[in-house]
Structure 1
Amino acid sequence: MGDASSVEPQFLSKLSPSADLVMAVFLVLTGVSSVCGNGAVLAVYYRKRRKIKPAELLTVNLALCDLGFSVLGAPFFIVSSWSHAWMFGETGCLLYGIQGSVFGIGSLITTCLISLDRCLKICCLRYGQWINNLHASLCVLLIWLYTVFWASLPAFGFGRYRPEPYGTSCTVDWWSIRTPRSDRVYVYLFLCFGFGLPTITIIASYLGILIKVYTSSRALASIPCCAVSNGSTKDLKLAKMAVAVCAAFLVAWLPYASVSLISALLSGEEDPLSKPTPAPVALSSALNWTTADSSKHTSHPPGPSTTGPESSLPPMVTVIPAMFAKSHCMMNPVIYQIMHREFRDSLYELVFGRQKADRRRQRRKTASVHTSVSMSVQKREPDRL
């Protein structure tokens, strides 16, 4: 890492210094919020680790993915935005791309399994009778193996990472989709198995949950309140929270994926087949940390984006969806706080102690009883008249 004057052209920011400063401040705020929020999620579930449920293991893994990006990825982006250039060179671009893909795909796959779990839990009564923590733990293990596999392939020459169009962050080289090299095969596979298939599963589960919630709500409205089981209403609340988590992920990441793909398909190069493209950064060259300034002009292989197709969209058009996507890591704890009373109670107990938490629960129960009594009295008064 050095000063911006020694940075190669492809790593220079395409935004104004004021825009980079705004990005840095925004990323600091979202990073701190994510660390605090996801840290609280992990602390709450650590306290109840002996009573944790299979679905909650997926929630823990989701918090780990969000926290991982905030701790390992966001500092790269913040420093580069503050310096008005990507300050970590080709090696940093590779490492940042790998961690971004690991935590990004991991978050998406985990969200996919959460939505699928909720859908099966609501729509298939037998599903909840056999699923256990062992199954959930195996799913978490497979998630990490799956994500590490796809994210690390560019380190071995299959696919590559390159700077974003605005210059201060790195991502999968979507622009190689227009080149004749094997890199575009990686882009196609990455889109299909890293984004497309999980997204379709989330949408299908989302629709299934909505249909079940709608039909169940109508059924619950037609029977007395005393006949409604607490388990049914709790499942519906958890299903609604799962829908919110999945919807937040899609809203955050679909614009970024769409803009990246459109930018790649409409890349500004006139004839990508006629121009040479650089070899991807291999693991052996990426791990060579003896990168003096003079070595940048020697016989080392070119970086991940020295040449090749460039984005046809303005940098500001590409940076807004990217910032929105990178801020997703702080959204899920907010959803838990708003929609999950049990999580709020556990967090309150973690911060203020069990005695205050018990008194808080008791006050809520007392208020609920008084509300039910007053509603019952109001219903009886018209009958007496």
Structure 2
Amino acid sequence: MGDSWRVNSSVEPQFVSKLSPSADLAIAAFLILTGVSSVCGNGTVLAVYHRKRRKIRPAELMTVNLALCDLGFSVLGGPFFITSSLSHGWVFGETGCLLYGLQGSVFGIGSLITTSLISLDRCLKICCVRYGQWINNRHALSCIAGIWLYTVFWASLPAFGFGCYGPEPYGTSCTVDWWSIQTSNTHRLYVYLFFCFGFGFPTVTIITSYVAILLKVHTSNRALASISCSAVSNTNTKDLRLAKMAVVVCVAFLVAWLPYASVSLVSALLSRNDPLAAAPSAPPWTLNRTSAESPERAGNWSHASLSGDLGPVSSGPGSSLSPVLTVIPALFAKSHCMMNPIIYQLMHREFRDSLYEMVFGRAKADGRRKRRKTFSTSVQSRAPRDRL
């Protein structure tokens, strides 16, 4: 079946899929599912908060920015990946690879940095009482502007020659070329800086924030398991409930992005010492190809990539790992954009109430809140008698 799959002859060798046609079809189906889910879910988040825009709070502005990043990643990036998977090769050329890499970095880093700031906001809200008294929407909007400046800065550097974008090892998507650390000291420096400030910084922020939250809860004798205890004030209860939701959001982030970043960096580092990967005439991903090309073409492509003639899009030596082992973490990372709306729906009561009001109207939403409050009051009033 692989030999009968036709690939456009204009597709460069490095952009031909290294996966089987059936795997590419499965990936396309998965991406369509996650893309539709992301557009619907993040679109709903934006619609809910647009309705309450006059009463929106700083933390909710961060949620809006996260939804914008995830939605942009799905709308601007998903169709390219899906089309290439169905075509069994990246059909948008070097310019398309550069643009796809740019948008992926902008929205990807933006999502990661926003998630880290959400965790930091939860930490400060619980650990520093005065923080919640002075933080306002102006501060949140300033942070959001800083996020976009930060992401555009790191994402655009390869367009100016510091670093580069290139095809993923499986061939049908583009990203920061982690494997260019084998060919250029400048690219190697960019990869290390990108990993530290694009992934390492938000990861350390997230972990530190929630360690601080757990220590604060522990020292205050307020275990997370007793979050509904009547001794805890309503404000603290709400803060801790939001903290639990943010923990889930950030765990989802780590599960989605940590394997991808780790596999990409480790495979790039390992391939530096791989004599086959360093050989100009035989890049690893040319050894497992589903379409035939002439040896002259493959050799010329490899020589051009090593000499840097392709500009900001690199085609240098690739991963030392199997393409299958690199595509699975990439799919986890790209599917992260659909997870946050699901988490909000399951864990954020106020979001559910706002969504219910948007769909069914204010009268029904108020009645639903009243019934829930009545039920909660009756349960609390029965609790002392149950203990007797």
Sort the TM-score into its range (normalised by shorter chain). Answer: 0.7 to 0.9
Contact between 1:119 and 1:209, CA under 8 Å: does it hold in 2? Answer: yes
Select which of 331, 346, 353 maps to 2:339: 331
- Structure 1 pair 213–39 and aligned structure 2 pair: CA distance change class (3 A): farther
Tell me the CA shift for residue 375 of structure 1.
Answer: 3.0
SS at match of 1:63: helix
Contact 1:11 1:85 (8 Å CA) reproduced: yes
Structure 2 counterpart of 1:60, from 59, 64, 80: 64
* Among 78, 94, 105, the residue aligned to 1:74: 78
Letter in 2 for 1:12: V
Query: Mapping of 1:13-24 within 5 angstroms?
Result: 13-24=17-28
The alpha carbon displacement at 1:212 in A equals 2.3
1:270 aligns with 2:268: no
Please report how far the alpha carbon of residue 363 of structure 1 lies from its aligned counterpart in structure 2 after TM superposition: 2.0
Please tell me whether residue 348 in structure 1 is matched to residue 356 in structure 2: yes
Tell me which residue corresponds to 2:49: 45
Q: What amino acid maps onto 1:243 in structure 2? A: V
User: Of 184, 187, 190, which aligns to 1:183?
Assistant: 187
**Cα distance in 1 between the residues matched to 2:169 and 2:160:** 24
* Structure 2 residues not aligned, in runs of 5+: 1-5, 282-299
**Among residues 209, 212, 215, which one is paired with 2:216 in the alignment?**
212
Q: Distance in 2 between matches of 1:355 and 1:70?
A: 35
1:235-289 superposed Cα distances (whole Å, 9 cap, x missing partner): 111111111111111111000000001110112752878859xxxxxxxxxxxxx
Q: TM-score, normalised by structure 1?
A: 0.87
Q: Does 1:140 align with 2:141?
A: no
Work out the CA distance in 1 between the residues paired with 2:121 and 2:229. Answer: 27
The one-character-per-residue Cα deviations of 1:278-311 (angstroms, maximum 9, x if unpaired) are: xxxxxxxxxxxxxxxxxx99x9943666642221
Which amino acid is 1:368 matched to? S
Larger deviation: 306-315 or 33-42?
306-315
**Contact 2:179–2:319 (CA under 8 A) maintained in structure 1:** yes
AA matched with 2:54 = R
Q: Number of matched residues?
A: 359
Sort the Cα spacing of 1:248 and 1:199 in 2 relative to 1 into closer, same or farther, 3 A: same
Alignment-derived partner of residue 174 in structure 1: 178
Higher alpha-carbon deviation: 215-224 or 100-109: 215-224
3-state secondary structure, aligned to 1:267:
helix
The 1:252–1:224 alpha-carbon spacing in structure 2 relative to 1, beyond 3 Å, is: closer
Task: Give percent identity, aligned residues only.
Answer: 74
| Aligned pairs for 1:74-113 within 5 A | 74-113=78-117
Q: Using the TM superposition, give the Cα deviation of residue 133 of structure 1 relative to its aligned residue in structure 2, in angstroms.
A: 0.9
1:245–1:332 Cα contact (<8 Å) kept: yes
- After TM superposition, which residue ranges in structure 1, 4 or more long, deviate above 4 angstroms? 219-227, 271-276, 303-307
In 2: Cα distance, 1:202 partner to 1:29 partner: 28
Task: Measure, in 2, the Cα distance between the counterparts of 1:144 and 1:82.
Answer: 32
- For structure 1, list consecutive stretches of 5 or more residues without a partner in the other structure: 277-295, 381-385
C-alpha change, 1:146 and 1:18, in structure 2 (3 Å) is same
| Paired residues for 1:282-361 under 5 Å | 301-302=309-310, 307-361=315-369
Quickly say closer, same or farther: Cα 1:224–1:187, change in 2 above 3 A.
closer
Q: Per-residue displacement from partner, 1:335-355 (whole Å, max 9, x unpaired)?
A: 111111000000111111112
Write out per-residue CA displacement over residues 111-163 of structure 1, whole angstroms, 9 at most, x where no aligned residue: 11111111111111111121111111000001001100110111111111000
Report which stretch shifted further, 24-33 or 179-188.
Answer: 179-188
Rounded to whole Å, the distance in 2 between the matches of 1:80 and 1:318 is: 17
CA-CA distance at 1:19 after TM superposition: 0.5
